[in-house]
Structure 1
């Protein structure tokens, strides 16, 4: 669990790469520069930790590409104290980024082994989400709604209605929609019935699986 000067230097290089790709939010860049991403990966793959690529973490899941994490986070426009729901805890790296931005994070993971591992790991390195839940991300977390932001970290073939309904007015849902390739999509809730939709190009995610429990 070491974080050395070498790691810090590699992180600054990663921040530079992500910024060159178009990420401008200084808080997001600061979070990428601060979080020891190598600790979220198996020790044999330290060399891959600060390359701007996704990487397998077991259970057919990946730790997302840092640029993608930064891109989705930037779209959320988080303000300190915002309530954020994360669908797909995974390794917990995206969770850590959301926490660095001062949000209250509620996160759902449907892979039992990942859920157990990440639940133990995050507090060990100082990251404490409000709630980590083992369950079906398609259903969201109605008992904690409404949320200022919802982020889906896996490819969804369609937009789950419960997620839209759990957004606060003015809240933002960031979700990659599609089967083989996904379109990064942002929904902003205008009022009870109306949502504004924006699309931001193509990404590739592992699929969001439902009813896995």
Structure 2
């Protein structure tokens, strides 16, 4: 006896769920990328001005903490605003369903007709969806919102904080590990280049872009950042030492 379609797909993720997870993963990769570049630029710049290990470490830790909190705070504010907007839109839709149900029903029918469904079938679909859960039907068709899956600002902030911190630790550890001060800048540059190669490759893969171009662009911008900040550090160190 053949299994039902529902049984065959039990536990299988929907396209929307997969897309949401990919978006979160892409955001995490980009957050790590920001951590790598910003902290690498900071410590390379300070290393250009001084060889003092404590000063370099302090600047790197300060850049990591400030950057992680800045990223998390910005993400929290942004996603909170988005969540407030979604709630307001749902409240408006709920009011309209209560005060003008006929007009809302006709609007839902029109949406499905515009998507290519025949008027007769569109009315049947709209009727069934309205009887099951009118708010969800309108939220999905009109607003593209799932009432039970609104964006979570704390989750977004935490994800940004963690991803930035993990990325920032790469150049910081690379700079602090070598005992020989003469090689630590080179070690850091190599570690950063490899890390940016990986984040560029992953982000391009998730976004469906050309990997080679994305990797070159990502690594190139990171190296340019370190070159510029190192030059600034050298100029500052020379001016202070003069």
Give the structure with higher Rg (CA): 2
TM-score, scaled to structure 2:
0.21
Structure showing greater relative contact order (alpha-carbon pairs closer than 8 Å, 6 or more residues apart): 2
TM-score, scaled to structure 1:
0.23
Higher helix share: 2
